[in-house]
Amino acid sequence: MPATPPATPLRWDIFCQVIDNFGDIGVCWRLAANLAQRGCTVRLRVDDASALAWMAPDGLDGVQVLPYDAPWDASHPPQAVVEAFGCAAPAPYLDALARQPAPLLNLEYLSAEDYVLRCHRLPSPILHGPGQGLTRWFFYPGFTAGTGGLLREPDLLPRQALFDRQAWRQQHGVRADAVAISLFCYEPAALPHWLQQCTAHADWQLLVTPGRATAAVQKNMNEKGLNPLPAKREKLLFLKSCSQTDFDALLWACDLNLVRGEDSLVRALWAGQPLVWHIYPQDDNAHHAKLQAFLDWLHAPASLRDFHYAWNGMADAQTLPQVDGPMLAQWRDCIQAARTRLLAQNSLIDQLQMFISEKS
Ligand SMILES: Cc1cn([C@H]2C[C@H](O)[C@@H](COP(=O)(O)OP(=O)(O)O[C@H]3O[C@@H](C)[C@H](O)[C@@H](O)[C@H]3O)O2)c(=O)[nH]c1=O
């Protein structure tokens, strides 16, 4: 039975540096929103908040978005501080924190690899320089007990229970009987092979997210001179940017979700539909081990592994499996079993709050 987190809502500072794409701000906003939903007050200090205009257009009570280097507020010091993905708070801030200390955490990237279990909750004392005397704690999200868990808002299940899938599909031009597939990716080498499969199945509709996925699909279409004909236009729906809440609805309404990065992977797991993960590519191919560890944790069937290898450039694009109904059903069973395992664990916020109350 998951442990119950402390009830006292705290004042949090979260630092976010946007590197590229949308995962940094996506995860940090979701973290801030999850905390605010539990009554906490959150100051999200971010260097580029522009994506929030479409990701969280309405903002949220309890979350204040500030410039990264906004001054220290001595009359309202933080009771917990998170530096996301290894970004460091500005030196003056860390020096002020050392005078009015509160637990300082480094929220790491999500991985299923073994090192997460070894490194989660390790201390790193600051022995000199900004923040001297403080201890930075490593906090690793993860898929299993012994890690920091996954972001899961309290109202996720009730929202899913109320979701009207058919109404959503009708509003978005998706046929009730279609196999609806969402595409949120970088530029996978196997994309042409996947587009051929999507075109070959009369009952498949591909919902393409804006940005890099749309650019990759259109590039492929133009290269092949495949200007989407009226019929093909119905097969390919090019979406506009939408809020995180509406992005969830897209994932819940589809029968297969091709996601990427970090945050949308977790959202696709909560959606419980078959999913494929386009992992964030890293120069030294470090992402290959990260993907393998995830597929191992997932207990992925061979066909889902093979699809991931081709989709992530770890196998020849020609080896992309031909997806059919029985295969999708097997993938769905796998994802739903994983979702059930995850729902039995503490959420990341519960773990975070328990950790902070230990260290305060
Ligand atoms: C397409 C779409 C996405 N989103 C949200 C979902 C997620 O919160 C966010 C996308 O983040 P991700 O899924 O993580 O994928 P990403 O590729 O955009 O972000 C990446 O950024 C890199 C810097 C990190 O190192 C990666 O781990 C990864 O997080 O955008 C919307 O809110 N609306 C949309 O229409």
State the pLDDT at residue 231: 55
The Å distance, Cα 75 to ligand 1 centre, comes to: 35
Structure pTM? 0.96
Tokens of 176: 């009730």
The Å distance, Cα 22 to ligand 1 centre, comes to: 4
Long-range pairs for 165-171 at CB < 8 Å and ≥24 separation?
Answer: 165/252, 165/253, 168/249, 168/252, 168/253, 169/253
Q: Is the CB of 277 under 6 A from ligand 1?
A: no
CA–CA distances in Å: residue 131 to residues 47, 56, 102, 181 = 20, 32, 11, 48
For the chain, give every domain's residue range: 11-150+346-359, 156-343
Q: Is the CB of 19 under 6 A from ligand 1?
A: yes
The single residue of 248, 262, 263, 350 carrying the catalytic annotation is 262
**Residue 225: is its pLDDT beyond 90?**
no
Q: 11-150+346-359 architecture in CATH?
A: 3-Layer(aba) Sandwich (3.40)
State the pLDDT at residue 286: 86
State the pLDDT at residue 230: 52
**Residue 224: is its pLDDT beyond 80?**
no
What is the CATH code of the structural domain delimited by 156-343? Answer: 3.40.50.2000
Q: Which secondary structure element, helix H or strand E, spans residue 288, and what is its range?
A: helix 286-298
Examine domains 11-150+346-359 and 156-343 and report if their fold is the same. yes
**Residue 234: is its pLDDT beyond 70?**
yes
State the pLDDT at residue 3: 60
| Amino acid identity for residue 332 in this structure | R
- State the complex-level ipTM: 0.98
